[in-house]
Amino acid sequence: MRHAQVLAFDVEDRLADLLRELAQANGLWLRPVRHAKTCINLLRQGADVLVLRLGKDLEREMTLLDQVSRLFPATRTVAIGNLPNPALAALAWDLGAAYVLFPPEPIEVLREVLLSLLLPLPAHHRGALSHLREADF
């Protein structure tokens, strides 16, 4: 059985702890990475989600987000900021993030976000949503 794979780019402190707890509790394969080239190489091997911390080097981080969105469309990216920044959040959405998490939204929301991106819908939900098309969203 294949474990869902999560790459965590440049995460530290509380976010790193939260991701480790989530991975242990749900049987996820978690790989912390600090270099964009390493991240891209690991994505070539297949990863389901990239958690991307924003704020240390925005040019590098946004370039990585853009590359991941274009080169690995099946990989969902969650962009996380430390401080409220509506313009940066909007840019992350525009560059293809599947979810953008900035204060005042609490970091603990990440648990539900990741699980919803990783785990398939139960059969009874798939049937209820089968009439929707991508254009409906």
The predicted-structure confidence for 88-99, as pLDDT tens digits, reads as follows 999 999 999 999
Cα angle for residues 70, 74, 78 (degrees, 5° grid): 80
CA distance between the termini of the chain? 32
pTM of the entire structure? 0.82
- Spans of all domains in the chain: 5-136
**Is residue 77 within 8 Å of 96, Cβ to Cβ?**
yes
Q: Give me the pLDDT at residue 62, please.
A: 96
Q: Give me the pLDDT at residue 46, please.
A: 86
Distances (CA, A) of 96 to 7, 43, 67, 106: 16, 16, 10, 21
The predicted-structure confidence for 24-82, as pLDDT tens digits, reads as follows 988 889 999 999 999 999 999 988 999 999 999 999 999 999 999 999 999 999 999 99
Residue 2 scores a pLDDT above 90: no
Q: What is the number of other CB atoms lying within 10 angstroms of the CB of residue 56?
A: 10
Q: Which CATH architecture has domain 5-136?
A: 3-Layer(aba) Sandwich (3.40)
